[in-house]
Amino acid sequence: MRPGKKVLVMGIVDVNPESFAISLTCGDSEDPPADVAIELRAVFTDRQLLRNSCVSGQKGEEQSAIPYFPFIPDQPFRVEILCEHPRFRVFVDGHQLFDFYHRIQTLSAIDTIKINGDLQITKLG
């Protein structure tokens, strides 16, 4: 990953979702766990879009403020994560929702996308 690069995730939310997560990580190691540059976790029960990182096994301060919850059960979505020099800019369906300032210093180490939870992926880019 480097400034100017973008990650695109398109999919459809499941009919009765609880949550799903999209993470950009430094590899896919489980033991020790890979550093997480950004994890986006959509939680449908309380309509939150949580963001965090995990560096050297230590989670950062979770962020939750958003202007609105953008995901609807059984509907398609488009998430774009744009890497800029000081931060990630996150867009959902073309609308910028928030910025997440880098907590990983070596952006070039970010090389893996992890996606799990109550969704179906239709396109990755």
Mean pLDDT on 97-103? 97
User: Sorting pLDDT into bands at 50, 70 and 90, what band is 30?
Assistant: confident
- Boundaries of every domain in the chain: 6-124
CA geometry: angle at 23 spanning 20 and 26, to 5°?
Answer: 155
What does the alpha-carbon distance between residue 47 and residue 24 come to, in Å, rounded to a whole number?
22
Give the position of tokens 């050297």.
56
Percent of the chain whose predicted confidence (pLDDT) is above 70:
100
Tell me what the pLDDT averaged over the chain comes to.
97
User: What b/e readout covers 67-93, taking b as 16+ CB neighbours within 10 angstroms?
Assistant: eeebbeeeeebebbbbbeeeebebbbe
Q: Taking the CB of residue 18, how many other CB atoms lie within 10 A of it?
A: 11
CATH number of 6-124: 2.60.120.200
pLDDT at residue 54 in the model: 97
pLDDT tens-digit map of 55-74: 999 999 999 999 999 999 99
User: Sorting pLDDT into bands at 50, 70 and 90, what band is 85?
Assistant: very high
Q: Is residue 79 a contact partner of residue 122, using CB atoms and an 8 Å limit? A: no
Mean pLDDT on 29-47? 95
